[in-house]
Structure formats: C-alpha cells, structure tokens
Structure 1
Amino acid sequence: MDPESVRESERVPHGGESDSDVLDFSANTNPFAPDGVEAVYADALEDSRRYPDDEHPEFRAAAADFAGCAPERVVPTAGGLAAIRLIVAVTLEPGDEALVPYPSFGEYAREIQLQGATPRFVAHDEVLSTGVDVLEDCALAVVCTPNNPTGEASDLDTLEAFADRCADAGTTLLVDEAFLGFTDLPSAASLEREHVVVARSLTKLFGLPGLRAGFAVASGDSLAALETARRAWSLGTPAARVGAYCLCQKEFVIETRERVASERDRMARALEGRFDVHPSDAPYLLCDVGDRDVSNVVGTARERGVAIRDATTFRGLEGHVRVAVKNRAANDQLLAALEVLDKADREDDRER
C-alpha cells in the first residue's frame, strides 16, 4: 500500500445490523446455512490447535468444482474482499488508473486509492462497452456481476468481448462474483486468460458472513503473483473446512437459488406499488423511493423492527434504498413494515 494514501483514506459504509432483535435486510446474506455446518466447525476447531495446511487442497478442489476451473487456479482468501484487495495490490502502482463501475461496491475505489492509484468512474451499465482507447489508460478494470446494488448480472459473451478489449489494452480485468452463486450463470473463471482474475465470496451464499472465506481464480503470471503475495495462513482451519463442506452442498445451492428467484419476483411485485424497483438477478432489490425522504423510509422500517440499506451511500444514487431477499416469513415482515408508508401517504393526501 501507499503510506500517504492510507493516511488520506476513509472507511466505506456497509449494510449489516448488529442488533439481533432487528430483522436485517440491509445485508445481502442467506438466512440459512447448510445442514451439518456445526459439526464440521466443531471438528475443525479442535484441529485449530495447530497451524493450517497453507495449501488447502480440499478447499481448492471444492472451490474449483464450484467455479468450473482447475484446482491449481484457485487462490484461497479470507473472504471475497480479501481476494479483491490481493488482486488490486499485485496489479496497481501509485499513479495508475483503474476503471470502476458506479453505483457499485464502495470498496473497489477504496482499495484502489489505498495503493496510491486513481479510480476512473464509469456508469455500471456502460463499463462493458468501454473501448480500448479508454482501457489503455487503465491498469485495471472492475466488473461486478451481479452488480451491487443494482442487481443485474453480466452476459458472459459480452463479458468475454470486454475481456478481449482489456487484453488488447494491456488491462487486467477483475470480475467480482460475490453474488453470482445465487444464480445459475457460468463464472468468468471459464475465461482462462492471464489478464482475467475472478474474486468469489462463499459466506453470502451459505449464510456465514462472519466466517470470512473466499477465493480468487487466476492463470499464468497473474496466478503466480497472487500465490506469492497472499499472506501465509490467510485462511483459518474452520473457514477452510466449513467452506469446502458448503461448496459441495449442491442441493442446498439449488434450493437457495429457487427460493431467491421466487421470493425476489414476489417482493418486486409487492414493492412496485410503493417504489420504482430495479430489475435484479441478485438476492436484493434496489428501490427508488421517489419524493419520499430516504432517512424517513429507513427509520419507519426500523421502528417496525426491520433494517434496510440506505443506498444513497453508493456513488451516484439519490432517493434509493436496497432490501435483501430472505425467506418468505421474513420477507412478509419487511413488506408489512413498509406498508406504513402507504398509510402515511394516504393521510398526507387527505390533509392536502
């Protein structure tokens, strides 16, 4: 990292609710975890009295099968964000530029700035059409699929064409697939190219965000750089064991995808009566609240025991909130909490 840039940087706001009495729709995590996780964790805890096997062969094999690549291309990390930091760190130098989508995950710009580089922001729905003339000035380009917070996933053919232009420009392409596991879409790991690096998160799909397990997928010199730079013992024994176990729970993944797709459609139909809802392939919905005050929307939901994300913290967004897609009972509680807004609107209309 660039020491001067570190001193000038700030933390990035995120979702996540620490109050266990509040239903958390501000973080996009699965409300369920696979059966058997507790036993795997307990066994791993006993083995944690010694250092972990830093090669993590079982974890690499499970991650490779899940992403559709060879095990030797997998680089274990302590969560998807750790993979992003590692990729950015081995790619950028002070003074470099990096292409970054907006609105999107705020940590991209922060990690780029921590290296002393400069983010060049491009609208999230225009990134994949960026030409070589722009890419030639960028050492790194970032794509988030499905994009957070808007929710749309990138078409792999379009992504491949963009990867070709990145190769022509000498630009490394970072594809963040933190939420791709909630879909049945193929991973960019299938694009086995030296300049394409993928970051994956396990803990959102498997409902264990505090576990911190993820991985990167790379090839050639990029893979060698990541393997050399990654911290020793960066993935603890419990995270590696539980992560490998979860990645093999294919029935759980199928059931999760079906539930999320069904509930997301149901929630979108219900919310469209109140907000302008962005189409989504992800386990969350971005909602334009119109002329309502976002803080009032967030506060009203919280008064009813539900935390939702103030999406105005994302670059380029005003008047938006983001809500996660959970299980049916929880989703009904969210919808009931937001019904208060309709009643308030009707009362305001009567007063006028």
Structure 2
Amino acid sequence: MTDQRPPLPVKKYLLSLDPCVHGGLIRKSSQKYGIPESDILDASASLNPLGTPFEQPDPELDLQELLSKGLEKLEQYPDNRYLEYRTAAAEFVGMGMTYENIIPGNGSTEIIRLVAECVVAEGDVVLIPRPTFSEYELQCSVMGAKIKYIEQDDIFDLEDEILAEAKIIFVCNPNNPTGKLFDKEMMEKLAEQCAAQKTILFVDEAYIELAEPEQSVAYLVENNDYLFIQRSLTKSFAIPGIRMGFGVASSKFACVLNNARLSWNMGCISDTIATALLSMKGGVNSKYLLDSRAFIEQERKFLMTKLSRRGFKPAESCVNYIYVDITDLSLNSSELAERMASHGVLIRDCESFQNNGKNHIRVAIRTREENERIADTIRQVIYEWGREQAEIQLRENIKAAAECGRKGSNIDCDYYPCHFEEQDCTFCFCPFYPCEDSRTGGNWIESSSGGQIWSCLNCTIVHEEKIVDDLLSIFVSEGLSDESIRKAWKEVMERNL
C-alpha cells in the first residue's frame, strides 16, 4: 500500500541527510553487550585523561560549591549577554582579546551551527579537508551547502581560484582524528590568503589546550573579519556532560554572531562552571593544564609503543588521541571496534570520517592502567579473531581432504617451507594450538608486546604425512569438535611423541 500523505514540509535536501557518528556511546554499548556502564572503558571519546580539575590532589575549584552557586540562579533567566563568561574566556585566550571578541556556545556543535546559519546559503561551496570532524559538513549541509572535499595535505597549497569559489573552509587544529598540529606561521599565511579571497577560515582549536596552546591564531581575529576560532571546554576539562564552548572573532563579526545566536544558549550551571574553569590561575598554562599536557605526552609515548608492537602503524600525534593505520591487519576497523566493544573497551572506527575506509581507528589516551587494558584487549581480540579464522581454514582443509586427500606441500605460500622441505600443509592451522607440550618441539617465547606466547616454530609432527593421514581419518569421519580433537591428540599425537 502506497503512502498517500503529502511530502514532509521540510527542505528536500534534508530528507537524505544522515546524522554524524560520534564516540562516547557508553550507554548504547552497555545495552548492546550487557556490560555495566561502570565496567566500560571509553577510548573512543578524546577527553583529558587526567580527569576533571575537581579530581586533582589539590583542587583549585570545588564542584559542589559551584553547583550550589549555579542553582541559586535556577529561578531566573540567564543574562544572555554572559558577560562574566565572555570576559573569563577572553582572559583565558589572552592575545589582547576582550569580551567583545567572544561568542558563548553550548559546545562545539552549536557554535558550528551558528556560524553556518549566519554565513552559508543554499548552494554555497564549503571546503572540508578530510579526514576531519564530521559536524562541519553536517551543519553546512543543513543549510544546503555544496560540500567539496580536499585532502589534509593540500590545505596550504590551495589555488586562489579554489578558495575564491568557497564561502568557508574548515581547518581542525590539532586535527581530529589524525592528531596533526599545524604551526601558527602556516595558519597565518592561510588566514591572509582566505581574507584576500573573501573566504571565511574556520579554525577549530578544540584540542589546542591539550597540545600546544601557543600555536593558536586567535591573535589574528581583530584585524581579520574572515577568521573565526572555535574553542571547547569539554575536551580540555573532561566534562562532556556539561556543554561549554566559545567562538573568537573580530568584534564586528562577533557582534553579529551574538545578535544571531539563541538568546539563552547556556544554562545557569554551565555558565557558572565554565566561568570558573576559564578563570583558573594561569589560564591555558594553569597547573592543571600544564600537568595534563605532560601526562598526555608520557602516556602517548607508552601507548604508541604498545600499538606499534601489535603490528599497527600509529601516526605521530601532538594531542590526547592516536590515529592508527591497521591496513596490515586482515581485521577491518569496524569489526575491530565491534569486537573491542564486546569486551568493554570502546575505540573509534574512523570509517565515519568522510568515508575514510575501514583501515583506520582512533584511540584516546587514558591513564596507564587503562592504556594497559586497551593494549591487552586489542591483543585478546586479535588472538580470538585469529583462532576463528584458523578454525574456518582448518575446516575447509579437512573438507577438501575428505574429497581429495592430503593437501601436500603448499609451495605457493610465501612462508613455505616454514618447517622443512616437502612438509605437508594440511594442518597449517594446528587443531591443538596451543598444546603447551614441549615434546612437540613447541615452546614459550617472549612476545613483542610483552608476556609470553606459544611458538610452534620447532614443531614438525603435524606436517609429517603419516601423522596427517591418521589425524584426517578421525576429523573426516567425526568432524572437528572438542571431543574429536581430544581423541586425535590421545590416539595419534600421544602415541608418536
């Protein structure tokens, strides 16, 4: 039966719009896998691993005190000028900013939406360097923009004609998900080029306090009406549940954006807490943020080493997450993320970043204990997946042997001969692994990622023709099962060791 109702009363291009994919899906994962939320380690959301300022040994701020202070204003509308917050944000940024340069926001997404609403019209070209934060394209797509993708490596080599065609270009610095930071001299030249072509340069500095805040280009805004800087508090202060952020622009540009934004886009709690956080002594170089950057650098080195030992290719990062190339792993990013989640560890599948393919993941840096758990879970998942693949291949080999006999020597294998010339390769994937019986020639060796692993390098028995025939006589007739494996070990292996 066809739907006789009239079409939805929305802009047509919104009908094909898909929502952004984000990390931090703790509740969803808990419900899907039956794991208590408290047992889930979230390495998919890139928050300050040091924790909130309220959790430090000598906290400068008292959360309960701030909550009480905020709740005193519960029965009145917020002052939508947000002067205290904007003044604190200006002082936090420094560089000669005043409250007139600050646009308060309910987190990064709302700020992106505000800028898109104010500058992007239907049909306007928007430049998105990929891979990068997906909210840029979503919020501009809501306005009917024409999205044009460029590569991250091409940002600073764009022809004037390409920029002149675009209404706005987004640059995430440090970039999410790659963790790459562009220095301010490069950004300054790009800002000049964009202004000359009357193209807005939107620089997202949401993670810069956790990287190198001195690389911020906020100092350029007052003399450049085509430059907009975004900052976020939720990442730096690890409080994603309280939506806080702000934009930085020339006083003229900021005035228009403040006039256009939602009248009360921050509530009394977020206003009070955000103002206090931005007012911490030292600003971007407060003891808390200095300690955070030192902690991140230390744990980043540790986790990079762990990930490298797993055969992955982690990219150099300056911030609190690592972009990892897993091309050499037969397991793709989506399946790896799903399997990790089933063990209670969330990582970010980077396929959702502008159709980035299934060869990259992003892993947030956590505490030492949590980073150990991330590495251990990756090792466990790869082992389990490998066992599953081995069993599949083993069953296929047994099925083929039932029809054609032993496989014989697989001379086309890149590793042949892995044991001896003319070895039989039917049981390349050993049904007894790990047998842990040194009589086979196998033994425990040190793993590259730490700990020990059972090595079959010196085991040759399952590649001898007579042994293969005897094992196949059991597996072909009885199938591959725990019971038949035990029987084969007892009746064939034990008698020949």
Interval of TM-score (by shorter of Structure 1 and Structure 2): over 0.9
> How big is the shift at 1:325?
0.8
Verify the 8 A CA contact 1:103 1:317 in the aligned structure 2: no
CA drift of 1:314 comes to: 1.3
Counterpart in the other structure of 1:40? 66
Distance 1:99 1:296 in 2: 31
* Aligned: 1:288 with 2:317: no
Tell me whether 1:23 sits opposite 2:41 in the alignment.
yes
CA offsets 1:100-120 (integer angstroms, 9 cap, x no match): 111111111111111111111
Partner in structure 2 of residue 236 of structure 1: 267
AA at the equivalent of 2:44:
S
Aligned with 2:314 (options 246, 253, 277): 277
Q: Distance in 1 between matches of 2:226 and 2:89?
A: 20
Contact 2:334 2:351 in 1 (8 A): no
Matched with 1:137 is 165
Deviations 1:297-317 (A, max 9, x none): 223322332111111111233
Q: CA deviation at 1:125?
A: 2.2
Question: Where does residue 181 of structure 1 map in the other structure?
Answer: 209
The gaps in structure 2 that reach 5 residues or longer are 1-9, 31-36, 55-61, 281-285, 391-414, 416-427, 431-497
Deviations 1:44-65 (A, max 9, x none): 0232221111111221122112
Pairwise CA distance, 1:96:
0.6
Q: Distance in 2 between matches of 1:5 and 1:191?
A: 36
CA contact (8 A) 2:48 2:210 kept: no
TM norm structure 1:
0.94
Please give the alpha-carbon distance, in whole angstroms, between the structure 1 residues aligned to 2:136 and 2:371: 30
Match of 1:324 in 2: 364
- Kindly provide the CA deviation profile for residues 8-56 of structure 1, in whole angstroms up to 9, marking residues without a partner as x: 3221111112232311111111241112223212320232221111111
Q: Does 1:259 align with 2:295?
A: yes
Deviations 1:128-180 (A, max 9, x none): 32121110100111100111111101111001101111011110110111111
Give 2:91's aligned residue: 65
Partner residue in 1 for 2:21: 13
Secondary structure of the 2:291 match is helix
User: Residue 344 of structure 1: CA displacement?
Assistant: 4.9
- Which of 1 and 2 has greater Rg? 2
User: Which residue identity is paired with 1:67?
Assistant: V
In structure 2, which of residues 108, 113, 118 is the aligned counterpart of residue 85 of structure 1?
113
Between the aligned partners of 2:211 and 2:332, the Cα distance in structure 1 is 33
Distance 1:13 1:162 in 2: 29
- What is the root-mean-square deviation in Å for CA atoms of aligned residues? 1.9
1:100 aligns with 128
1:139/1:224 CA distance change after superposition, 3 Å:
same
What displacement does 1:293 show?
Answer: 2.5
| Greater mean alpha carbon deviation, residues 156-165 or residues 79-88 | 79-88
CA distance in 1 between partners of 2:318 and 2:11 (Å): 39
Match of 1:219 in 2: 250
Distance 2:340 2:168 in 1: 39
Question: Partner of 1:121: helix, strand, or coil?
Answer: strand
Q: Bigger shift: 60-69 or 198-207?
A: 60-69
> In structure 2, what is the Cα distance between the partners aligned to 1:81 and 1:129?
28
How far the C-alpha of 1:294 sits from its partner, in A, is 2.2
**Is residue 277–residue 287 contact of structure 1 (8 Å, CA) maintained in 2?**
yes
The alpha-carbon distance between structure 1 residues 147 and 297, as it changes in their structure 2 partners (threshold 3 A), is same
Moved more, 139-148 or 220-229: 220-229
2:78 is aligned, of 42, 52, 72, to 52
Aligned equivalents of 1:210 and 1:3: distance in 2? 31
* In structure 2, C-alpha distance between the alignment counterparts of 1:281 and 1:48, rounded to whole Å: 40
Distance between the aligned counterparts of 1:243 and 1:331, measured in 2?
A: 29
Does the residue aligned with 2:166 lie in a helix, a strand or coil?
coil
Q: Greater relative contact order (Cα 8 A, min sep 6): structure 1 or 2?
A: 1
Aligned equivalents of 2:368, 2:278: Cα separation in 1 = 24
- Equivalent position of 1:166 in the other structure: 194
What SS does structure 1 have at the residue aligned with 2:148?
strand
Which structure 1 residue ranges, 5 or more long, are not aligned? none
1:69-124 CA-to-partner distances (Å, cap 9, x unmatched) read 22220110101111111111111111110111111111111111111111110112
Please say if 1:120 is aligned against 2:161: no
Supply the distance in 2 between the matched residues of 1:302 and 1:195 (Cα, whole angstroms). 42
Distance 2:117 2:66 in 1: 33
Other structure's SS at 1:98 match: strand
Letter of the 2:20 partner, please give it: V
1:13 is paired with a residue of what secondary structure?
coil
In the aligned structure 1, how far is the partner of 2:111 from the partner of 2:148?
21
Q: 2:41 is aligned with what amino acid?
A: L
Taking the aligned partners of 1:298 and 1:164, their CA distance within structure 2 comes to: 41
Q: Are the equivalent residues in 2 in contact too, given 1:300–1:337 (CA < 8 A)?
A: no
Q: How many equivalent pairs are there?
A: 351
Identity %: 30
Superposition deviation, residue 220 in structure 1? 4.4
Q: Is the 8 Å Cα contact of residues 174 and 197 (structure 1) preserved in structure 2? A: yes
What residue is the counterpart of 1:351 in the other structure? 429
Question: How many angstroms apart in 2 are the aligned matches of 1:88 and 1:317?
Answer: 27
Mapped pair 1:333 → 2:373? yes
C-alpha contact (below 8 Å) 1:5/1:115 kept by paired residues: no
Q: CA–CA distance in 2 between the matches of 1:34 and 1:124?
A: 33
Letter in 2 for 1:136: A
